[in-house]
Structures are given as structure tokens and as C-alpha cells.
Structure 1
Amino acid sequence: MKRVSVRRRRPFKIQKLEQLVRLVRESHEQPITGEPRLPEIAEAGETGITFLGHSSFLLQVGGKNILVDPVFSTRLVVLRRQRAPGVMVRDLPPIDLVLLTHAHMDHLDKASLRRVIRATRRLRGTTPEVVVPNGVEDLVQWMGFEKLHVMSWWNEIETLGLKIVMTPCKHWGARMFRDMHREYGGYFIAPTDGGQTVYHSGDTAYFEGFSQVGERLRPDVALLPIGAYFPDTYRTVHTSPEEAVRGFMECGAKWMIPMHFGTFRLGREPMEEPVERLNADASRLGITDKVRVLTEGETMLLSREGSVMAARPAINERESSSSLAASYGHG
């Protein structure tokens, strides 16, 4: 009898470990590119959205300075970033509020949070407030934030003249694999006295929640993830560029700004592919004028009515960090 050879598949855990080893090796093979900038500062009534890299943003909404998922570290455990942060911590305005979408290390970086707290204390004498999903509070409660808010999906709070709503997403929240009790989500940010609103989806796969956000909140600007979608199994927790465009159209926003691409090698797709596919799909649908791909450190400024403002000079390059408090009106 002829013997038939059977090729056994490697155990799933070994496959995942091999993928991680490849990602780590590739993240160290290329030099870090990009140069930090000085941030543009929104004037009264304007909204500023500055892309810091990955899923990190500086939002200037309702006269307040907000950081979402700030990550400034060069390395996250074993992964090294491929692009420099768009703005250095020392060049940030004093931060009023930090929003953390979930506990993953590429979104909740303790070293970066401590640096933001110290920098704001130096500039203003106080520290930011922080918002986290339910089950994440133990990671930040002793860091020195002025106030800690804990939220679940569709919870709403008002603080600092802002309305904050935690929105659902399709992802997972464990930091160390076994702490699956940790929740996760996105955020809708609106000034209570009117003006442009911003929706940061957090990490998410495509799901019906985009339509729910559109029905309930109708944001003006949507910050949506477009990377780490290959192999296809990753799309159970991440959107492809085409799915992100679909989510943008369903949430009803006027503008889309992509995120979660180009900074860390988290998926197997080429680093430049997410933006290429995003632009191609936007062109196919005739919405290229609604999709704004920001480079690290670039700011999109919107008037109170929602028109795009021309870029203006950033903070004077000759100003030292010791004089920033006066520059931001906190001297």
C-alpha cells in the first residue's frame, strides 16, 4: 500500500509567535523616519486636529487641548516605531484632557502618559483629567491625573465645557491576554457651546456601530483606522481601508482622517499600502475631497461653521519650552 504523507499544520500559538518574530525583526531593520513639528494652535471658536502618529491625536476642541491615545515612545516592549512622533511632548500645549480608548500598549503607553503629566504640570501647575473605559482605571489611577472618569459604551459625561460620549467598537481590551474584563471603545467629543465635533473610533473592525454613531451623534470629523488588516484574520478586530471608508459614509461625518497606519508594523501588508488603498477607494466613490490624509505633525483647522482654514505658522521656533506657558495663555 502506498503511503500518503500528511503535512501537519503548526499549532496556532506557534504560528502567532512566528508572525510576532517577523514583525519585530522587520520593525528593527528600517531607520525611524520623519521629523517632529511644532503644533499649530487653533484660535477661539476653531477646531484643530493634529495627527501625532498611529492613533495618537492632539485635538483642540472648545478651547481645550485633548490628547487621544498619546504614544511618544520609540519602542513598545519589542516593537520599534517606524515614524517619529509628529510633535514632541515638550512642544505640546498644556493638556486639559486625555482620552484612552483601550489598554493595548500601542494606545495606553504609561511612559508617554507620565511625560504628558509632567509637562502639563510644568506649564500650568495642574495636571490633565483622564477618561478610560471601565476596567482600565487601575492602570492610570495612581499616575497623578487631576481627575479620573470611567465610562462604558454610550455613557456620556460633561467636563471642561465638553460633552464626551464613549462609542462602541469591535475589538478587544486585554493588556496581558488574561485580563479580558477590560472594556474598550471610541469617543465622540463636542463643545457644549457649539462648534465642530470629532469622533475617534478607537481600534475596530467594521461593524454596525458606525451606523449607530451616525444615527445618534452625526459627527463632523471621523478619525478612523485603516491599517493592520492582513492577513485577513486580523479583520476580526481591524478595518481594511475600504471598510473604513464604508464606516465613514455610514457615520455621516463630513471629513475622514485616517489613523492606525505607518507608525508600527502591526500587520503583514506593506507599510504604504493602507493609504494607497484608501485613496483609490475614495477616488472610486468620488469623495477624495472629504478624505484628509495628514502627515505626522500636520494639523487640520476648521472654523466654528466647519470650513477648512488655511494653515498658519506654528509656535515660533525660537521659543524655548520654558516660555511655552506664556505662549499658550497660561503664563
Structure 2
Amino acid sequence: MQTFIEHLGHTSFVIQRGPLRVLIDPVLVLRELEFRQPACPAWFFDDLSSVDAVFFSHAHDDHLHPPSLLGLREDVALYFLDRPKPGAAPESSARAILTALGFRNLHPFLEGDVVELAQDLRIHILPAQCSGEGEEQCALLVETPDVLALDAVDVTDSPRTREALEAFRGRVDVAFVPTGASVQWQGFWNQMDSVGALAFCDWLKPARIATCGGTLSMAGRPREDRLERYPVDRAHWMAAAVTRAHDSALVPWKPPYRLVYGEHVLERCALLQPGRRFEPARGQRRPQALLTTFFTGYHPSKPIQRWGWGDNNDLVRWLEPFEAIREVVRASTRDLRYLLERCQVSVNKTPAAVLAPRTLRCLVEGKAFELAARLVSLLPSKVSEPTDMDAGYFAAVEAALLSEPALEEPQREDLAACLWMDRGLFHIQCMSRRMKELARRDERTEALRASHQSVLRDSLLQRRPVLGPYHLRVTRDLARLLDARPLSPETSEVLCYASPAGIRYQPLSTLEALLLDQCDGRTVAEMVGDVSAALSLPHDDVRSAIFTFLSHLSHESPLVLDWSH
């Protein structure tokens, strides 16, 4: 029997012995794993059903890649390092990501473990220094009767790794090491550079040395006019390597290629051509790779890059890439329904999940997957103003909901409420982003705020505060649709409003809701009298409560209350 090692590119590998097929850090929605090269997502392999197990060295996006993993069946065995990054959010751990993607067959491991698989294949989990930003990671040593292969991607040369490899020195048949360290903007390398990798190999003494990761994933040479993340390319690495290692020890080929080992002898190497070898025999491939990329929030033409309406993207720039895939998405409701049923809500990063998340959640929780898939397939057009989204997108969602005959009346009412909230909160979010650009927090600003508060206090009784336009008042019975978190018994309503820090969700007591009801053009003096008489409270106490509550809202967001009347 032989062992096949296929290096697909970047840090993605296939290990095959007999019928057993194992993936390591798979990025599978790019035919050529060159991350700078724009390309429409398409599976590297046409058939992923024969994969038996997947191993992850760590949870970075280019190793644990959600769009690629959604091409695998849900019961495939997944092995991952169960040591989350200290201080990281629980949902960012490998376990949480894989669970959210719908996988059920999870196998956590720790450094020092040895995972025994079929066909006499064992994988040693080697300790490694965590990445520069604190991500826990490991190296993997693949052992079969035919080959001993080291996968040392994205790790630095540390005493702990050397100690774990001491027993294997001089026995490793092929060691995959980075082509070059990535520049971290904090001012340090995140992997072994070429000098460090070769020094590590001088110590390990593998029979052959191969490159992986780094500039291997970049299309073309580093550009001299730009600060590159990987400033040293594979040609530089090879030039340094020939001065430190015998030519016969270097694997000269650029992936994708296959190494065939039998009894620790490299019997042959075959270059792979994924664009030809993995084309379907007949018919057109369903656009699943594109859909998983779209569904998980990665760029439609740069599927290794996260994309969304985030801090760095304005609305127009976010929507622009979807123009090219509009018709494909519209014709793919069957595949979108499968993704909605398989994945947890947190995975969905489509425009529907960003613009109408509560409406979509209500449909999914109600098992209305067909209608939910149609909503996901509705891509808004590029807009010049956020208000254009009302007619260009939210009206289309509303029409889809109204035209669905299978909805029960209570569900239809809930969906109408959810859409009302989604539409209002979208505009609040747009205003919050604008406020963030304008917000200033310095001594002068704080002094002006204090002065403003003093003026309000001195003239309070004559003021006629009214609610501004960028807020949403959600009653207690509808708050269950606003957020899954339970409300405290004292909460009567939830006030949503725009602030420089994003949308604020302010729980309101019965008294606070009553005070907001009074903000309809009457003076604060009239409000004090009405509330005092209604609740039999002293005027001074009511006046103090009104000022404290309304001035807090004003301080959080000047758009919630208009004091100028």
C-alpha cells in the first residue's frame, strides 16, 4: 500500500492511504490557492463526499475556512485544537464555529495527543508557540508505514516544538515549512522566516524540505510599491535554501502536486491541474462554492476575504460585488434552503441576515425555510442613500411576505412586526455610523456637554422636549422578536436609538415609558404636574426623575430628544 500526500496550495493538504482520505486545513473554494488573484468561488474538488476526516491546526480563517467546510457532509469527523484564544469571545472558538456550521462529529484534541485513524494512519499533535495575536495553534506530524511528514505551517521555531520532535530527528521524510514570515503590523514575524525555517530543518534533518503557506498563496512576486504582508516570495526562499541544503533535499515544485510514498521512499511526484482534473464529466456544476462563500460573508471574488457592511465598508461598496452574482443567487433557493436548515443563525452573513435579521430569524424558527431562502436570494441594488433601501429592498421583502399563502395569521403578524423593526433599526444603524464619524471625546467636548446640561437644568420647566426621529419604541410583547435575551420583570418597553457607539437598547420601566409619552410638546412643568398627580408623588422628586432620565438619553444621543421647542 502507498500513502499519497497532496499539497493543494497555501497550507491545505490531502493525506490518503487506501480508502482513507484526510484533509488538513482545507481551503477548497479556490481552484488555484492564490489569495491575491480575484476568482469566482469553485470547488477544488468536484466530489467531497469521500472525505473521512479533517484536521485543523488552528482557527484562523485561512485554515478553518467556513465557505470551504460547508462543502463537506455534516457527519464528517472533525479534529481541532480545543484551546481557545485567551480572552476571545466564546463564539470565535473552533468548537463554536464548527458547531454553528452544522457539524455533529467533533473530536477536540490537545498538544501531545496522538490521533489513531484507520489504515495505520496516526497524527501526532505537536505543541507550538501561539500566534502573535494570541491564537493557540499546533503543528501536525503525519505517520503511516510509508511516510513520516511534518506539517509545520504558521509556527515559529520554539523549544517546545523541538522537544516534541526530538524523537523524530533524522526520521522525517518530508517537512513542510513556511516560505516566509508574515509581517504583523505590531512589528514582529508570525511564522519562521526563510533563515529560521532552514535553521529548524538543519536541526530536524528531514529527507526532503517543501514549502507551504506564506507567499506561496500570493499571485506573482511581491510588489515593490506596496508594503506586503509577505515581503519574501518563494523564489527568494529557494535561493536561500540552496545555500543551506542539498538540491536533492528540496521539493522544487509549486503546488498543487502529489507525493507518492511507499516504505519511506518517494516513488514519484505528479503535478495536479485542478482546473482540468476536477471538472465534472458532464453537465454544469451547481454553484455551491459560490453560495457557501456568499452565505458566510466572504467576498464573492476574493473568497478568502471576509466582506460585509462593517466598520471599513460603506453601504455602496458592500453591495457592489453582489451585482455579478445576482442571477445565480436568485436561481439557487434550494441550496440556500439547505444552508439555512444546516447552519445556526450566526453563520448567515447575507444581506438578508444583515438588513432583516429578525424577519429571517422568525422564518427560520418557524420552519418556513422555503420563504426564508427566497428572502436570502433577494439582493438589494446599489443605493445612493440609505432611504433608497426602503423601496429597493424592504418593500420587496414585504411583498414576498404578503404573497405567501402558507403563513398562519399569528406568524404573519409577527413577521410584519419584525420587518417594521428591521427597517427602523437599519436606518438607526446608518445614523449611528454617521454619528461615530462626527463624535469627539476630548476636554473641550466634555466641557460643552457639561455646559449644555447646566443650561437644561436651569431652564428645564420651560422646555418642551419631544422625541427625535432616530428611535424605535418596542413594546414588551414585541420585544421577544427584537432580541432573544429575556426581559427583566420591571421592563415595560425597549427604546432603541442611534448613538456613536451603535444602536442602544434601553429597557424602560413603566414610569420611564410614561415620561416618554409625555414628550409630545407639553412643557416639563406640565409633565411634572401630570405625573405627580397621576402617581401621587412630590413635584421635586418627579422633576428630578424627569431631568435625570431625559438628560441621560440626551447625553447618549443628541438625536433622541429635541430640547429646542
Q: What's the TM-score once normalised by structure 1's chain length?
A: 0.65
Q: Is the 8 A contact 1:47 1:59 kept in 2?
A: yes
What is the Cα deviation at residue 154 of structure 1? 1.1
Q: Is the 8 A contact 1:225 1:244 kept in 2?
A: yes
* Residue in structure 2 matched with residue 27 of structure 1 by the alignment: none
Amino acid across the alignment from 2:149: V
CA–CA distance in 1 between the matches of 2:157 and 2:279?
A: 45
Q: Decide which of 170, 186, 209 is 2:129's aligned counterpart.
A: 170
5 Å matches for 1:135-214? 135=84, 136-145=94-103, 147-160=105-118, 161-172=120-131, 183-191=136-144, 194-214=145-165
Q: Decide which of 61, 66, 80 is 1:132's aligned counterpart.
A: 80
CA–CA distance in 2 between the matches of 1:289 and 1:146?
A: 44
* Residue in structure 1 matched with residue 174 of structure 2 by the alignment: 221
Q: Which segment drifts farther, 138-147 or 300-309?
A: 138-147
What is the Cα deviation at residue 264 of structure 1? 4.6
5 Å matches for 1:270-309? 273-309=232-268
Amino acid across the alignment from 1:241: S
* Residue in structure 2 matched with residue 262 of structure 1 by the alignment: 216
* Residue in structure 1 matched with residue 37 of structure 2 by the alignment: 82
Amino acid across the alignment from 2:201: F
What is the Cα deviation at residue 70 of structure 1? 0.8
CA–CA distance in 1 between the matches of 2:156 and 2:279?
A: 43
Is 1:97 equivalent to 2:45 in the alignment? no
CA–CA distance in 2 between the matches of 1:88 and 1:195?
A: 26
Q: Which has the higher helix share?
A: 2
What is the Cα deviation at residue 130 of structure 1? 1.2
CA–CA distance in 2 between the matches of 1:321 and 1:129?
A: 30
Cα RMSD for the two superposed structures = 3.6
What is the Cα deviation at residue 220 of structure 1? 2.1
CA shift in 2, pair 1:316/1:102, >3 Å = closer
CA shift in 2, pair 1:86/1:52, >3 Å = farther
What is the Cα deviation at residue 245 of structure 1? 1.5
CA shift in 2, pair 1:279/1:215, >3 Å = same
What is the Cα deviation at residue 301 of structure 1? 1.8
What is the Cα deviation at residue 316 of structure 1? 6.9
Amino acid across the alignment from 1:82: Q
Q: Is the 8 A contact 1:132 1:151 kept in 2?
A: yes
Amino acid across the alignment from 1:57: F
CA–CA distance in 1 between the matches of 2:262 and 2:127?
A: 28
Q: Give 5+ residue unaligned stretches, structure 2.
A: 85-93, 284-565
* Residue in structure 1 matched with residue 409 of structure 2 by the alignment: none
Q: Is the 8 A contact 2:182 2:231 kept in 1?
A: no
CA shift in 2, pair 1:310/1:70, >3 Å = closer
CA–CA distance in 2 between the matches of 1:272 and 1:51?
A: 23
Secondary structure in structure 2 of the residue aligned to 1:89: coil
Residues 140-159 of structure 1: per-residue CA shift (max 9 Å, x gap): 13545463221111122212
Q: Is the 8 A contact 2:149 2:175 kept in 1?
A: yes
What is the Cα deviation at residue 244 of structure 1? 1.2
Secondary structure in structure 2 of the residue aligned to 1:138: helix
Q: What's the TM-score once normalised by structure 2's chain length?
A: 0.40
CA–CA distance in 1 between the matches of 2:64 and 2:279?
A: 32
% same residue: 21
CA–CA distance in 2 between the matches of 1:276 and 1:312?
A: 19
What is the Cα deviation at residue 162 of structure 1? 2.2
Q: Is the 8 A contact 2:257 2:269 kept in 1?
A: no
Amino acid across the alignment from 1:102: H
CA–CA distance in 2 between the matches of 1:263 and 1:316?
A: 20
Secondary structure in structure 1 of the residue aligned to 2:270: coil
CA–CA distance in 2 between the matches of 1:165 and 1:101?
A: 11
* Residue in structure 1 matched with residue 20 of structure 2 by the alignment: 64
Q: Is the 8 A contact 1:210 1:248 kept in 2?
A: no
CA–CA distance in 2 between the matches of 1:86 and 1:73?
A: 5
Q: Is the 8 A contact 2:13 2:25 kept in 1?
A: yes
CA–CA distance in 1 between the matches of 2:163 and 2:18?
A: 24
Q: Is the 8 A contact 1:72 1:112 kept in 2?
A: yes
CA shift in 2, pair 1:90/1:236, >3 Å = same
CA–CA distance in 1 between the matches of 2:232 and 2:42?
A: 20
Q: Give 5+ residue unaligned stretches, structure 1.
A: 1-44, 122-126, 175-179, 323-331
CA–CA distance in 1 between the matches of 2:249 and 2:277?
A: 31
Secondary structure in structure 2 of the residue aligned to 1:262: helix
Q: Is the 8 A contact 2:181 2:230 kept in 1?
A: no
Secondary structure in structure 1 of the residue aligned to 2:63: coil
Residues 2-29 of structure 1: per-residue CA shift (max 9 Å, x gap): xxxxxxxxxxxxxxxxxxxxxxxxxxxx
Residues 153-204 of structure 1: per-residue CA shift (max 9 Å, x gap): 1122212242221112223397xxxxx6x6321111213xx22122112311
CA shift in 2, pair 1:268/1:50, >3 Å = farther
CA–CA distance in 2 between the matches of 1:195 and 1:109?
A: 30
Amino acid across the alignment from 1:262: L
What is the Cα deviation at residue 253 of structure 1? 2.0
Residues 222-260 of structure 1: per-residue CA shift (max 9 Å, x gap): 111123444796654211112111222322321221111
Amino acid across the alignment from 1:202: V
Amino acid across the alignment from 2:217: T
CA shift in 2, pair 1:312/1:281, >3 Å = closer
CA–CA distance in 1 between the matches of 2:271 and 2:182?
A: 35
Q: Is the 8 A contact 2:4 2:15 kept in 1?
A: yes
CA–CA distance in 2 between the matches of 1:200 and 1:289?
A: 20
CA–CA distance in 1 between the matches of 2:199 and 2:47?
A: 35
Secondary structure in structure 1 of the residue aligned to 2:242: helix
Residues 124-145 of structure 1: per-residue CA shift (max 9 Å, x gap): xxx4311100132222135454
